[in-house]
Structure 1
Amino acid sequence: MLPQNKLQDVFFTALMAFVMVYAMICYNISLNVGGLKNFVFLAAFSEILIMWPIAVIVELLIVGKLSKILAFRFVTPGKDSPIMLILAISSMSVCLMCPIMSFAATILFKNAGSEFIAVWLQTTAFNFPVALFWQLFFAGPLVRNVFGLIMKKIGKQ
């Protein structure tokens, strides 16, 4: 199920952003420490307090609308199957969010100094395939199912 109104859109966005941001923070910390270790799962919560609100705001104000505009250049609502619409919008969202969130992470956590552009580009390049894979195969289906269950439960009350 997908959001049907603005309140649902904000809730869905917050849930999706949390799942995506948490996973990407865990991934980036793992890169920095030489691999995934148990402490990473807790350490990610210190960064998520900063990155999650950024992701929600960027998605709600910019990326949500723009990703649909871009996706609808490839797919047509009412003509193409719903899964194709979801995959197109999700893919365009990652194409936009990954460089933006990598930019924020580079500013806030990378201490890049005079190598800022190079560090940002490298961070984006490392993050993009993981973000796309995570979104299309795990976060997207998980969040849509959880969101659908919550909306169904709320609707029965």
Structure 2
Amino acid sequence: MPQTKLENVIFTIMMVIVMVYGMVVYNITLDRGVLTNDVFFIALFELPIMCVVGFIIESLIAGRLAQKMAFKIVTPGQDKPFMIVLAISAMTVVCMCPLMSLVATCLFKGIDSQIIAKWIQLTITNFPMALLWQIFVAGPVVRFLFGHIFNKTKAE
């Protein structure tokens, strides 16, 4: 896990890219009704704006809030590191999913009299995928890559 401010920024950038890409692919697939090879390419065009938004939301709001929420469930130094990572990951999704869904609703579904309904529907649709993607794909992949880049041991 990140030890310095620079490491934290790099970790956050890595996580945002993997999470946003996965969720953009998922949402394009839902809109089209089918996952095809071109969806993976099309998703790259939404990636820059959504990554910037994701990084800002994570850095300014969700990161700290998720950690506070997680530490009401687990206690660093007492609970197993796996449980701490799991709690922080889950609480990050709890914070990020509604906020990113709001941005996506405004950008891709339009702002009109149904915006609240569209936002709620998108959040409900995205939440299970975001949680599963975070816990089973993005989290492990990013922690593995980050650990190798910064030569972190498994004990951390």
TM-score (norm 2): 0.95
* Matched letter for residue 42 of structure 1: F
How far does residue 112 in structure 1 lie from its aligned partner after superposition?
Answer: 4.8
Give structure 2 stretches of 5+ with no counterpart. none
Map of 1:146 onto structure 2: 145
Q: How many residues align?
A: 152
* Matched letter for residue 130 of structure 2: A
Which region of structure 1 is more displaced relative to structure 2, 94-103 or 107-116?
Answer: 107-116
In structure 2, what is the Cα distance between the partners aligned to 1:64 and 1:76? 17
How far does residue 38 in structure 1 lie from its aligned partner after superposition?
Answer: 1.1
Map of 1:13 onto structure 2: 12
* Matched letter for residue 90 of structure 1: S
* Matched letter for residue 43 of structure 2: A
Give structure 1 stretches of 5+ with no counterpart. none
Q: Deviations over 1:25-53 (max 9, x none)?
A: 00000000011111110111111111001
Map of 1:30 onto structure 2: 29
SS for the counterpart of 1:95 is helix
Map of 1:71 onto structure 2: 70
Q: Deviations over 1:63-92 (max 9, x none)?
A: 111111000001000000000000000000
Matches within 5 A, 1:103-142: 103-142=102-141
CA-atom RMSD in angstroms = 1.0
In structure 1, what is the Cα distance between the partners aligned to 2:5 and 2:108? 32
**Aligned partners of 1:103 and 1:120 also within 8 Å:** yes
